[in-house]
Chain A
Amino acid sequence: MEVLILAVLVGLAIAAVRVRDLLTATAILGAYSLMMALLWCTMNALDVGFTEAAVGAGISTVLMLAAIGRIGRREGGPSRMPLLRLPLLSMRQRVERAEELEEGQGRAGAWGAVLVCALVGGLLLYGTADMPRVGRQDSPANRKDDPATPANEASISQRYLDESPHDVGPNNVVTSVLGDYRGYDTMGETCVIFTAALCVLMLLRQAMPRTGGRRRRDGDA
C-alpha cells in the first residue's frame, strides 16, 4: 500500500514540475497533498493526515489559485493582467530580468541547477540512511537505555503514552502533547499564523490605497 502511494507521489511530483500551465500544476499539487495525507494515515498519524488534507489539499490549493488569478496562469508567459500594482510589478520585473539573465547564460545555468539539485538530493538521501525504520523498537524514541531517559524508566514515547491520561486527561495523546506538555510551542505556532496574515495584509492591502475608502464602507455594511 505504502509503495503504491509513494509511486503515485513521485509521479505527481514529476508531473507538477513538467506541466507549464500553473493551474494544472496547482491541481496536481492538491492531489499530491491528498496522497501525503493518505500516507500519514497509513502510518497511524491521523492528526497529521487530517491537517495535511485540510491545509495542504484544501486551503493552500485555494490560496495558490488566488495567487494565479493575480500573476496569470502561464509559467513565464505574458501576464493575464497587464496592469499590476507597484510591488507586484517590481516583482514581475525582477522575474523577467532573471529570465533574461538565464537565457544569456543558457545551458550553463541549467547544468548548475541540475548540479545543485543532485548535491542537495544526495545529501538528503545520505541523511536518511541514518534514520531508524518507522516503528523500530530500538529507535532512540523507543529505546529504554536512551541517555535522555532516567534509568529504570520506560522509553520517552512509552512514558508519554503511559502517563499522559494521568497527567493531562485527554484520550488523544497528540492533543496532550500539543496543548499541555508543549503548550508554549503551540502558542508560538499560532503567532506564526497570525504573523503570516499580518505580512500579507501589509504587502497587499496598503499597496492599493485607492480601494481603501470603498473597503471601509464594506466593513461598515
Chain B
Amino acid sequence: MTETPSLIVRYVARRAVPFIQLYALYVLGHGEDGPGGGFQGGVIFASSFVLMGLVYGWGRGREDCPERVADVIAPAGCLLYAGIGAVCLLLGGAFLQYEAFVGVDADHHAKHHAHHFGLIGIELGVMLTVTASMVTLFFEMARPDDEEVADGVAEEVDAEGEDADA
C-alpha cells in the first residue's frame, strides 16, 4: 500500500466503484426473488470502499467513508432492524410480525405488501450495519503505523494533485 499503483489500476478501480455499488443495491433489492439480500449486498458495497483504500492508499480511501459516518451507520442499521420490530409491537402485533402494519383483519393482498416492506426494511438495516462494519474492520486493521502515516500524507497530497489534473 505504500507505493502508488499504475495509472491503469487507478483508472479501472475508480471507474469500477459505481458499478460495484450499483450491483450491491441490485443484490439488496433482488434478494426476494433470487439469491442475495442485505448481508451479501452490504459486503459488496463495503468492497467498493476497500478497493479505493487498496488502490489510492489508506488516507484517500478513508475519506470516502469517514470514521464518523461509519460509526453512526453501523448501530443505525441494527436500530432500524430492531425499530421495525418495535413498531410491529406498538401496532399490536408480535415483535417483527410485519402483518401488524396493516392490521390482522386486512386482506391477503395487503398482508403481502406488509411482509414485503418489512423484509425490505430489515434487509436495508442489515446492509447498513454490514457495510459500515466491514469498512471499519478493514480500515482499522490496515491503519498504518506512524512512519507510514507520513507516507500516507504524501500519498494524499499526490492524490489531490491528481484530482486537480483530472
Contact = CB atoms under 8 A, between A and B. Distances in A.
Interface of A: 46-47, 49-51, 54-55, 58-59, 62-63, 66-67, 69-70, 81, 83-85, 168-172, 174-175, 178-180, 183-184, 186-187, 189-191, 193-194, 196-198, 200-201, 204-205, 208, 210-211, 214-215, 218-219, 221
B105 interface: no
B122 A63 contact: no
Interface in B75-119: 75, 77-78, 81-82, 85, 95-96, 98, 112, 115-116, 118-119
A191 B112 contact: no
Contacts of A81: 145
Contacts, number: 153
Nearest to A221: B63
A171 B33 contact: yes
Interface of B: 1, 31-37, 39-40, 43-44, 46-47, 50, 54, 59, 62-63, 66-68, 71, 74-75, 77-78, 81-82, 85, 95-96, 98, 112, 115-116, 118-119, 122-123, 125-126, 129-130, 132-134, 136-138, 140-143, 145-146, 149
Chain B interface helix/strand/loop/mixed: helix
B32 A175 contact: yes
Nearest to A171: B33
Given A46-B35, A47-B37, A218-B67, 19 more contacts: A58-B47, A81-B145, A168-B115, A169-B112, A170-B116, A175-B32, A175-B37, A178-B37, A179-B119, A180-B118, A184-B85, A186-B81, A190-B78, A191-B78, A193-B133, A196-B137, A200-B136, A200-B137, A204-B143
A168 B130 CA distance: 24
A181 B33 CA distance: 17
17 contacts: A49-B35, A50-B36, A55-B43, A62-B47, A63-B138, A66-B138, A170-B119, A172-B34, A174-B37, A179-B118, A179-B122, A186-B126, A187-B96, A187-B122, A190-B125, A191-B78, A198-B74
B130 A190 contact: yes
B31 A175 contact: yes
Among A190, A215, A221, residue most surrounded by chain B Cβ atoms (within 10 Å): A190
A50 B34 CA distance: 11
